[in-house]
Structure 1
Amino acid sequence: MEPKIADKIVVVWIGGPEYLDLSTPPPGFTPLEYNLGIDIKAGQVVFNESNLNIWQIPRNAYRQTLMSYGELITKVKPEGKTGAYLTKKIEDLMERVQKLNFHIGETYIMGDSPLVLVTALQSSFEADSSSSSYVLKNAPKIDDNGLYQYNPKGRNIRVYTQLDTRLMFEDFYTKLKLFNKKN
């Protein structure tokens, strides 16, 4: 209702395909990235029509957030009811996917976790998500198929290319352990 507040808002968006000048898509990739495919219209509003500040974590970046099954079993599951609950949720997903004759392997992408990394886990001096790398790019236009179109007049957006997964996961494991000790 008040467009002037847009300058004060940062949208952290985990989604969108790779920028081909920054990263090569994974083998067998789908041009329409999963998160953008959930609501292309919303992506078009945020990228094409708004002037919101965007910090984007595209597919090539969020795919870096791999947790091994061994880590899940040794660092998450032992941490009380919360750890057991989180482990069961991922194991249930692994089981559902295997029933579809798809092998999920020894890792799981914790792709939503970078939200905490780039916001809450910023450096204390000159606050910024300094342990993760990003570039500034012109915001692309998103077409009706959910694909990027080059937009030379697009505003600058922050596009993450490398995430500090060590900080992200160790902070998670430690907080889970500390929470479990309190309960």
Structure 2
Amino acid sequence: MKHPFDIPESKKIRLIINTDAKNEADDPFAIVHALLTPRFKIKGIIGAHFGTYRTDTSMQESYDEVVKILDIMKLTDEVPVYKGAIHALPDEETPVSSEGADFIIEEAMKDDPTPLYVAFLGPITDLAAAYMKEPAIAEKLTALWIGGGSWPDGEFEFNLMNDINAANVAFKSTIPLWVIPQNAYKLMRVSLAELAVNVKPYGEIGAYLFQQLIDFNFDMVEKYIPAVIERAKKAGHEIDPESLSDWPKGEMWHLGDSPIVSLLLDDHQYGYEMKPAPRITEDMRYVHYQNKRMIRVYHYVDSTFTLQDMYAKLKLHYVS
């Protein structure tokens, strides 16, 4: 993609995006923002699964959504797309096969001095699988993960729920890891009115980003929540519909995946702390048990910086 300005080559980074793009509506905003960013040499985008709570083809749906975004932006021939794992790790010792994991290994092991970052917007399955297949990647890349419950106790969190085993593999690995947990990524609060003014008018992709969010609001109420309740019922579980009625709220959203862009533009030096990696229980709580393996845990993301950068890049690219 041709950008309206450039930066020194020495300031650029290689980036792989791993995304459950069709799970909900925020991943596409982060993908588009990254594609419009001159600092990033995007080497590939991997479609990720998002569990089976409403579909049995979640990875393929994510893959198809990435293909659709690239087609709208006329970048189909510029950015390769790969298929990630179709399901979570069965345990912490057994990798699952995916071309996404293989691609991470391939890119990490290249003789390229440009720093490599791999950003995970959903479950961290493909990173764990790649590491188990080739542990040497730990010295070749830095991983960012949008996921995990609020620090320091933990709680239910969707990306984590879809592969707790993979999170534990990554946490006990030697991979440099930046974690943006729920209490940090939910700072990315935005209203639909703000997106209607700052995103919708800018190109076919701006209109698409806005409309797919509007559509998801209705689909969640009319299709997805009933599907979740029905699947749970078939599995022998009863879900109170009222417990699912608070989200989405209707006129606002959390663009929770967008920090992958702003943190790679500026790492928010005072927005994180280095913490010993915990172990994660089946109920998604953190067990703090060691003090040697350290990870970067974010407690703050600058939403104004993030959103204004996205709005500006849409306008720069799509105002004639």
Structure 1 residue corresponding to 2:261, chosen from 88, 112, 116: 116
Question: Match of 1:126?
Answer: none
**2:145 counterpart residue number:** 13
Q: CA deviation at 1:107?
A: 1.2
1:142 corresponds to which residue? Answer: 280
- Larger RCO (alpha carbons 8 Å, 6+ apart): 1
Give the direction of change, closer, same or farther, for the CA distance of 1:97–1:154 in structure 2 (3 Å limit): farther
Question: Quick check: 1:160 aligned with 2:261?
Answer: no
Give the TM-score normalised by the residue count of structure 1: 0.82
Q: 1:46 aligns with which of 143, 160, 170?
A: 170
Q: 1:84 and 2:207 equivalent?
A: yes
TM-superposed deviation, 1:160: 0.6
Q: Unmatched 5+ residue regions in structure 1?
A: 26-30, 123-128
Q: Give 1:69 deviation, angstroms.
A: 1.0
SS at match of 2:319: helix
Displacement of 1:142 in angstroms is 1.8
In the other structure, the counterpart of 2:100 is none
Cα deviation, 1:60-103, whole Å, max 9, x if unaligned, reads: 00000011111111111111211110001100111123335555
Alpha-carbon offset, residue 154 of structure 1:
4.4
CA deviation after TM superposition for structure 1 residue 166, in Å: 1.1
What is the identity percentage for the equivalent residue pairs of Structure 1 and Structure 2?
A: 38
Structure-2 change in CA distance of 1:110 and 1:62 (3 Å)? same
The amino acid that maps onto 1:10 is T
SS in structure 1 of the partner of residue 178 of structure 2: strand
How many residues align? The count is 166
Give me the whole-angstrom Cα distance separating, in 2, the residues matched to 1:90 and 1:66: 14
**Could you tell me how far 1:4 is from its partner in structure 2?**
3.5
Q: Structure 2 regions of 5+ residues with no counterpart?
A: 1-132, 226-244
The RMSD of aligned alpha carbons is 2.0
